[in-house]
């Protein structure tokens, strides 16, 4: 299943109506690198495997984990 990346400029688009992830790839890459670095500092889960569900968002199928 593919990923659906969402990025919004809340300074100009408080309603999150314009996903700019496709046009601001450098910002997406920077944020993904920061998240990956942070994830490497975390310990593994101390509870059973997560549950998940699939939902439709903007015509794409997303898998949600909770």
Domain definitions of the chain by residue range: 1-66
Using CB atoms within 10 A of its CB, is residue 15 exposed (0-12), middle (13-18) or buried (19+)?
A: exposed
SS3 readout for the chain:
CCCCCCCCCCCCCCCCCCCCCCCCHHHHHHHHHHHHHHHHCCCCCCCCCCCEEEEEECCEEEEEEC
What tokens were used for 53? Answer: 């569900």
- Say what the pLDDT of residue 2 is: 65
pLDDT confidence band for 60 (50 / 70 / 90) = confident
Model pTM above 0.85: no
Q: For 13-45, write each residue's pLDDT tens digit.
A: 999 999 999 999 999 999 999 999 999 999 988
Q: Which of 41-45, 46-50, 60-64 has the lowest mean pLDDT?
A: 46-50
Q: What is the mean pLDDT of residues 40-61?
A: 84
């Amino acid at each position: 299943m593919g990923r659906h990346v969402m990025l919004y400029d809340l300074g100009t688009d408080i309603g999150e109506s314009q996903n700019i992830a496709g046009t601001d790839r450098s910002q997406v890459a920077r944020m993904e690198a920061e998240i990956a670095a942070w994830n490497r500092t975390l310990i593994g889960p101390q509870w059973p495997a997560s549950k998940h569900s699939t939902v439709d968002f903007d015509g794409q199928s997303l898998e949600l984990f909770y």
